[in-house]
Structure 1
Amino acid sequence: MNATVRLLENVARATVGVHSQVPTTHVSAAIGLGTDRRGTGTIVSPDGYILTVHYLLLGAQSVVVTLASGEQLSARIIGKDYNSGLGLLKIEGSQLPWLEVVSSQNCAVGQEAFTVSSLGGEKRCADAGIVTYTGPFDAVWEFVLDRSVCVTASSLNIGFSGGPICDNLGRVIAVSYLNFADIGRAILGIPGENYLAARDELIRYGRRTTSPPKAWVGILTYTMREHVVVAGVMPGSPGDKAGLQQGDLVITADGRDINERRILYDVLGSHQPGDSIQVKVLRNNRIFNLEIPAVRAEDYFA
Structure 2
Amino acid sequence: MRFLKPQLVWPVISGLLLAALLLQTFPGLSGQQGASNNVRAEIRTSEPILVPRQDGPVSYAGAVRQAAPSVVNIYTTKVVEQQINPLMNDPFFRHFFGPGGQPRQQRMQSSLGSGVIVSSEGYILTNHHVVSGADEIRVALRDGRETFARIIGSDPDSDLAVLRIELDNLPAIALASSDTLEVGDVVLAIGNPFGVGQTVTQGIVSALGRNSLGINTFEDFIQTDAAINPGNSGGALINPYGQLLGINTAIFSRSGGSQGIGFAIPSNLARQIMVDLINEGFVVRGWLGIEVQEMTPALAQSLRLDSPRGVLVAGLLRNGPAHNAGLQPGDVIVAINGQRVSGARETINFIASLRPETQITLEVVREGRSRNLTATIGQRPSSPRRG
Q: TM-score, normalised by structure 2?
A: 0.51
Amino acid at match of 1:296: S
8 A Cα contact 2:248 2:263, kept in partner:
yes
- How far apart are 1:74 and its partner, in Å? 0.1
* Cα gap change, 1:144 to 1:73, in 2 (>3 Å): same
* Cα gap change, 1:266 to 1:82, in 2 (>3 Å): farther
- How far apart are 1:100 and its partner, in Å? 1.6
1:175 is aligned, of 214, 236, 247, to 247
Please give the alpha-carbon distance, in whole angstroms, between the structure 1 residues aligned to 2:131 and 2:190: 20
8 A Cα contact 1:176 1:190, kept in partner:
yes
1:92-111 correspondence runs (5 A): 92-111=166-185
Q: Deviations over 1:158-207 (max 9, x none)?
A: 64211010011111111101134735312200001112222322112322
- How far apart are 1:62 and its partner, in Å? 1.4
Q: Higher mean Cα deviation, 119-128 or 69-78?
A: 119-128
Structure 1 residue aligned with 2:131: 57
Task: Establish whether residue 71 from structure 1 lines up as the match of residue 148 from structure 2.
Answer: no
8 A Cα contact 1:19 1:39, kept in partner:
yes
- How far apart are 1:134 and its partner, in Å? 0.3
Name stretches of at least 5 consecutive residues in structure 2 with no aligned partner: 1-56, 82-107, 290-312, 316-328, 331-342, 353-379
Amino acid at match of 1:74: F
* Cα gap change, 1:120 to 1:213, in 2 (>3 Å): farther
Q: Which has the higher helix share?
A: 2
Structure 2 residue aligned with 1:296: 382
- How far apart are 1:58 and its partner, in Å? 1.8
* Cα gap change, 1:92 to 1:297, in 2 (>3 Å): farther
Please give the alpha-carbon distance, in whole angstroms, between the structure 1 residues aligned to 2:123 and 2:169: 12
- How far apart are 1:125 and its partner, in Å? 1.1
3-state SS of 1:115 partner:
strand
8 A Cα contact 2:159 2:216, kept in partner:
no
- How far apart are 1:142 and its partner, in Å? 5.1
Structure 1 residue aligned with 2:236: 164
Amino acid at match of 1:202: L
Task: Establish whether residue 39 from structure 1 lines up as the match of residue 95 from structure 2.
Answer: no
Structure 1 residue aligned with 2:95: none
Please give the alpha-carbon distance, in whole angstroms, between the structure 1 residues aligned to 2:282 and 2:288: 13
- How far apart are 1:8 and its partner, in Å? 0.9
Please give the alpha-carbon distance, in whole angstroms, between the structure 2 residues aligned to 1:270 and 1:164: 28
Q: State the identity %.
A: 24
Task: Establish whether residue 198 from structure 1 lines up as the match of residue 198 from structure 2.
Answer: no
- How far apart are 1:133 and its partner, in Å? 0.3
8 A Cα contact 1:124 1:159, kept in partner:
no
Amino acid at match of 1:152: D
Please give the alpha-carbon distance, in whole angstroms, between the structure 2 residues aligned to 1:66 and 1:120: 15
- How far apart are 1:266 and its partner, in Å? 6.7
Please give the alpha-carbon distance, in whole angstroms, between the structure 1 residues aligned to 2:135 and 2:122: 20
3-state SS of 1:63 partner:
strand
* Cα gap change, 1:203 to 1:214, in 2 (>3 Å): farther
Please give the alpha-carbon distance, in whole angstroms, between the structure 2 residues aligned to 1:268 and 1:113: 26
8 A Cα contact 1:68 1:123, kept in partner:
no
- Over the residues paired in the alignment, what is the CA RMSD in angstroms? 3.8
Task: Establish whether residue 150 from structure 1 lines up as the match of residue 223 from structure 2.
Answer: yes
Please give the alpha-carbon distance, in whole angstroms, between the structure 2 residues aligned to 1:134 and 1:89: 27
Q: TM-score, normalised by structure 1?
A: 0.64
How many pairs does the alignment contain? 230
- How far apart are 1:83 and its partner, in Å? 3.4
Structure 2 residue aligned with 1:116: 190
Task: Establish whether residue 13 from structure 1 lines up as the match of residue 63 from structure 2.
Answer: no
8 A Cα contact 1:132 1:150, kept in partner:
yes
8 A Cα contact 1:52 1:87, kept in partner:
yes
Q: Higher Cα Rg: structure 1 or 2?
A: 2
8 A Cα contact 1:49 1:90, kept in partner:
yes
Please give the alpha-carbon distance, in whole angstroms, between the structure 2 residues aligned to 1:191 and 1:2: 26
8 A Cα contact 2:128 2:155, kept in partner:
yes
3-state SS of 1:197 partner:
helix
- How far apart are 1:4 and its partner, in Å? 3.1
8 A Cα contact 2:276 2:283, kept in partner:
yes
8 A Cα contact 1:40 1:52, kept in partner:
yes
